[in-house]
Structure 1
Amino acid sequence: MLPEIKLSVRTLVEYVFQSGSIDNRFRTSTTLTEGTKAHKAIQSTYQETDQKEVFLKTEIKYEKIKFLIEGRCDGLLFRDDKIVIDEIKSTSKDLSGIEEETYPVHWAQAKVYAYMYAKDHEQNEMSVQLTYIHAVTEEQKTFQQHFIFQELEQFVNELVKQYVPYASLMQIHRLRRDDSIKNLSFPFETYREGQRKLAGAIYKTISEEKNIFANAPTGIGKTISTIFPTVKAIGEGKLERMFYLTAKTITRQTAEEAFSQMKNKGLCMSAVTITAKDKVCFKEETLCQKEYCEFANGYYDRINAAVLDIFSHKTYINRQTIEEYARKHMICPFEFSLDLAFVADAIICDYNYIFDPKVSLKRFFDEHKRQSALLIDEAHNLVDRAREMFSADLQKSNFLTLKREYKETELHDSVHMLNKYFIDMKKKSSEKGYLVWKEIDADLISMLEEFVRNAEIELLQPTKSADQTTLLDTYFAAMGFVRISKLYDERYVTYVETEKNDIHLKMFCLDPSHLLQQIRKKFRTTVYFSATLLPLQYFLDMLGGTSEDYTISIPSPFAKEQTEVFLQPLSTRYHDRDHTKRQIIDMLSKLLRERSGNYLIFFPSYHYMKNVYEDFTAIDPEIRTIIQTNRLDENEREQFLQEFKEDNTETLIGFAVLGGIFSEGVDLKGNRLNGVIVVGVGLPQLCLERNIINEYFQTTGKNGYDYAYTFPGMNKVLQAGGRLIRSETDTGVIVLVDDRYLTQKYRGLLPAEWRGFTRI
């Protein structure tokens, strides 16, 4: 039986005919919408006997592979004695620049459709028509060619021949992959306590096409416990691929290590890491234009060879590997990673590539998603990240700047109206400094749509010498606002807030659960996992959980005796911080002199941390200290962590911020970390947004304050404390500093092994 490869007509022709350069110059964002309208406009002129959106498929056997090729042609026209395949292409470019042979890929697509129809209906000849239509003006330009069946057959066979090397490589890889998975054992000698249970639950969830929320303690080995059963499911044909989603770079590295460990056990599986464009770009400025960037120039002429090369030699493709092969083939490393991800078995990337409406991976169609699993690491982070991804904001200052810069243009009227709108909002909100409303403002959306249209006219003028940075940024912000307005429902509010000399307008997603649920429905399985998915009902509510979803909580595998937990019952409330600061410093000095080692102390804000740090170093200068500064880059972050050495001969204490880069995803095993001090209960700073969230959930019958403040705050505390015990041999001290831990409510939110704390 021949192996089968299913592919679309578009995939086939684009693989063979793609050429040219990456050019991310401004293009109108309305083209897609207008293009759909343009397609329908042409199809509405078809005769009664004509057909539109005709599904076609065929089988072609070539070099011991059966290709199943399918697609939809835009139009099937019957003209006298001719049968015509009509391929419609919308464009925002001037049609005068399009000649008959400008786009060979378009002819190729139409000719494949013609071959499929002719073969299926035993036609000896076919006509092929390309219809170009301007997306805005609806001006049309048409080209037509005539072919006998043998010409079409020869053309399609040649296409398949050129696709075969890639198809064969992928087919050989799949056979090796599935064979290696069958023989793959768990990459460690033994399972940690709870690991087998977690892995089994994930496998069962995938097999049954369900979703699961898994709370598993820090140090259990959650990453390998979720990836390993998913790999097994791929080998058994239950899945085609997995997406491993992370919020931070450090957790991405943990996933890469898991694949590396399985590779050492014989796994042959392709895994690609997507790194943000600005981090991986080879040039000083991220400007994707062929005149500026040699890696963008001719990208599509070289990409096929690069893909064949890297997949012939590598399976685990991280940032370093992508950069190596990108330089070798002179191609853009970011676009390369996206092309590799499209055919990889596993994709390791940030949440936004799946959930963010602005940057999600559009090339993965729904049929790909239905055979994919989402593994969402540190899923507690997705609540606030999703809120931001599904929200949109605007600043008045940008429109005022544009009003001054574009006085003699059509753009001026629209920015003037928007600037005036902000002024009116400022007047209405003057009493409180803010204004909140629930309904979508249709007038505002109309004004923004008008601004977008006028901004596009300006941005499409390549000869304009003025700096268009503000216009471009404001254009994308307005587009984002219009896009989010289509998602707006009862889970949203809009608010205006006065900020010094500016006015901030935001369409704010209060409850992202519904939108997250809509996205995950497209995938076979979604696995949410974290060490702090507590309280579980809160995360079920916020992440779109349903009564059909599985839940699992794995108890800590570590002995209670590994951790000594102390409580210093002081008030760390904002107005008490100056009064209790000296007591915290005295406690620190006493602890560090009695128990030498490496310590981390976490504070609820930079200002509070800095205050205590300055006084502590003045009072006790002999103890070595380091402090987290704002906006650390990756190198500075690594330097901070490298100070926590296994064999430090002097005591070290690192001052850090709750919820920051050092409070989660940091793995300091053994004597690299001997104690964690957490100051406060982690409550987010009082602000308008949190108060709006509070009020919203209060109206839904929940405890609004807990949903806005308590639960997100305690999650930070649990994450920070979780840095301490990472293995069966780790021991150490946790000190909680706040009198609220004496109350039943806050004590009940602590892990069971922390509740027996000793007061100091």
Structure 2
Amino acid sequence: FELQLDLSLYVDVIICDYNYLFDPLVYFRRYFDNDASRMLALIDEAHNLVDRGRDMYSASLDSASFEKARKAVRKLDHKKYKNASKRIAKLFNELKENSPIGETVLTNFDAKIIRAMEAYLLATQDINRNHHAYVDEDFRQFFLDINRFLKIYEFVDDSFTLYVTNTNDKIVKISIFCLDPSRHLARSLGQVKGRILFSATLSPHEYYVDIIGGRKEDPVLLLPSPFEADNLLLMIAPTVSIKYKNRADTYKVVAEYIENFVSHKMGNYLIYAPSHAYLAELVEHLNFPDDYDVFVQLREMDDLDKERFLERFQLNPSKTTIGIVVVGGVFGEGIDLVEDRLIGVAVIGVGLPQIGFERDLIRDYFNKRGQKGYEYAYVNPGMNRVMQAVGRVIRSEKDRGMALLIDDRFLNARYRDLFKHEWSHYDVVISPEDMALSIASFWKKA
């Protein structure tokens, strides 16, 4: 890695992950601690910078990781470490005793907590330098975690929330959560001479300009798709509500839509479910012919598992292959199944992130700023997942394919307006059988 860094000084173009420009701990210091005003930054898939930015400016520490680190050096006689670890143990114990089960926002963050962490960091640095034999992966990881926590704490302002998570299994966690990464991303982008941020799914662009550190006066270029609109048959099924409270009543009718959708043309299809739980229930209701190959995404899949899954979608297929996956998951973007390796995608629901504590914090933060908090926390990220999923179908000028969006909210202006520029040519299908004419006419033109 060090050799790559040295060689980078002699090249014209560096291709790297976001964190080498934006992460406050691992950015390229040799470039951005000095004058970077001659550099240009091209930021691909810029929609991902929202969550990545939050992650890069968030940090957490938990009591379980601390106990593992302390166990690693229990036989080492190191007075400073023992004293420092006692202070950290006391901190976790106090948080455990004084916090109810669940998440609790910390309105006052005592300076003694930071001093205890700084003392622990100094002691662990000495052990890392002088007592290598005791340093295992658990010890090293907690050292990195506490170093990150202290670094991120330096940035804390009103765009952050500090909170404690107290669980029933005796584990307590303290977190710094970045609600709005825009000013930090803007600071990094401001170091270079020019920056171009681009993606096929930056809608609504006002939201992305705001949340990834742009300015109102920054030029925005909206380009139509380079692919023929007639190459994509987009259908919306608005008679089904996939809202969480209604989901238990939708499995049967959604299964009928999916079965009908894939029955008209042999080929490869991806079905995007709103969650793993919904996927598991839906699979029980689907009834495909015996000669179909059906593969289901697992909760845990590494890169090799993902590669093997996608290898089943072959060119010039001799049978229908169906992959049932989760929207926003590992098959949500970054896959290229060109030509007839994929001819159809169905998306169930509007892709909203699961309702949760951190998402609600984001919603409340932007509401207080007079902005659309629910859109910022839920709607915009959710519809981006949908657009990314549908974007798997048409990957080249030769591709033709279909997309089916199942949810009544797709015809609600709040959601429809997010894809009005990309997909103005959709058919509304009122029942599973209603798709037949549209699908037959579409493939007849192929």
Q: Same fold by TM-score, threshold 0.5 exceeded?
A: yes
- More strand as a share of residues: 1
How far the C-alpha of 1:398 sits from its partner, in A, is: 2.8
Query: 1:550 maps to what in 2?
Result: 219
Counterparts of 1:332-371 in structure 2, within 5 Å, are 334-367=1-34, 369-371=36-38
For residues 449 and 663 of structure 1, the distance between their equivalents in structure 2, rounded to whole angstroms, comes to: 41
Counterparts of 1:508-657 in structure 2, within 5 Å, are 508-569=177-238, 570-616=240-286, 620-657=289-326
For residues 7 and 409 of structure 2, the distance between their equivalents in structure 1, rounded to whole angstroms, comes to: 51
Relative distance call for 1:487 and 1:419 in structure 2 (3 A) is same
Let me know the Cα RMSD of the aligned residues.
2.1
1:413 to 56, 61, 83: 83
Counterparts of 1:98-109 in structure 2, within 5 Å, are none
For residues 168 and 9 of structure 2, the distance between their equivalents in structure 1, rounded to whole angstroms, comes to: 46
Task: Give a deviation string over 1:217-247, Cα, whole Å, max 9, x none.
Answer: xxxxxxxxxxxxxxxxxxxxxxxxxxxxxxx
Secondary structure, in 3 states, of the residue corresponding to 1:338?
helix
Answer yes or no: is the 8 Å Cα contact 1:601–1:653 preserved in 2: yes
Answer yes or no: is the 8 Å Cα contact 1:603–1:657 preserved in 2: yes
Aligned residues: 424
Query: 1:725 maps to what in 2?
Result: 394
2:151 to 483, 487, 491: 483
2:347 to 678, 690, 702: 678
Answer yes or no: is the 8 Å Cα contact 2:270–2:323 preserved in 1: yes
Relative distance call for 1:341 and 1:440 in structure 2 (3 A) is farther
Query: 2:114 maps to what in 1?
Result: 445
Relative distance call for 1:465 and 1:554 in structure 2 (3 A) is closer
Answer yes or no: is the 8 Å Cα contact 2:127–2:135 preserved in 1: no
How far the C-alpha of 1:440 sits from its partner, in A, is: 4.8
Query: 1:742 maps to what in 2?
Result: 411
How far the C-alpha of 1:651 sits from its partner, in A, is: 1.0
Relative distance call for 1:439 and 1:521 in structure 2 (3 A) is farther
Relative distance call for 1:721 and 1:414 in structure 2 (3 A) is same
1:399 and 2:105 aligned: no
* Greater relative contact order (CA < 8 Å, ≥ 6 in sequence): 2
**Unpaired runs of 5+ in structure 1?**
1-333
Larger Rg: 1
Relative distance call for 1:382 and 1:406 in structure 2 (3 A) is same
1:698 and 2:367 aligned: yes
Relative distance call for 1:732 and 1:468 in structure 2 (3 A) is closer
1:378 and 2:48 aligned: no
Amino acid at match of 1:580: T
1:469 and 2:125 aligned: no
2:335 to 656, 666, 673: 666
Amino acid at match of 1:487: F
Amino acid at match of 1:388: D
Secondary structure, in 3 states, of the residue corresponding to 1:530?
coil
Query: 1:494 maps to what in 2?
Result: 162
Answer yes or no: is the 8 Å Cα contact 1:439–1:493 preserved in 2: no
Task: Give a deviation string over 1:88-129, Cα, whole Å, max 9, x none.
Answer: xxxxxxxxxxxxxxxxxxxxxxxxxxxxxxxxxxxxxxxxxx
Q: TM-score, normalised by structure 1?
A: 0.53
Task: Give a deviation string over 1:313-346, Cα, whole Å, max 9, x none.
Answer: xxxxxxxxxxxxxxxxxxxxx3332222222111
Amino acid at match of 1:342: L
Query: 2:443 maps to what in 1?
Result: none
For residues 513 and 416 of structure 1, the distance between their equivalents in structure 2, rounded to whole angstroms, comes to: 37
Answer yes or no: is the 8 Å Cα contact 2:84–2:119 preserved in 1: yes
Secondary structure, in 3 states, of the residue corresponding to 1:676?
strand
For residues 619 and 562 of structure 1, the distance between their equivalents in structure 2, rounded to whole angstroms, comes to: 26
How far the C-alpha of 1:630 sits from its partner, in A, is: 3.7
> 599-608 vs 363-372, which deviates more?
363-372
1:435 and 2:435 aligned: no
Relative distance call for 1:544 and 1:388 in structure 2 (3 A) is same
Relative distance call for 1:577 and 1:751 in structure 2 (3 A) is same
Answer yes or no: is the 8 Å Cα contact 2:347–2:406 preserved in 1: yes
Answer yes or no: is the 8 Å Cα contact 2:259–2:288 preserved in 1: no
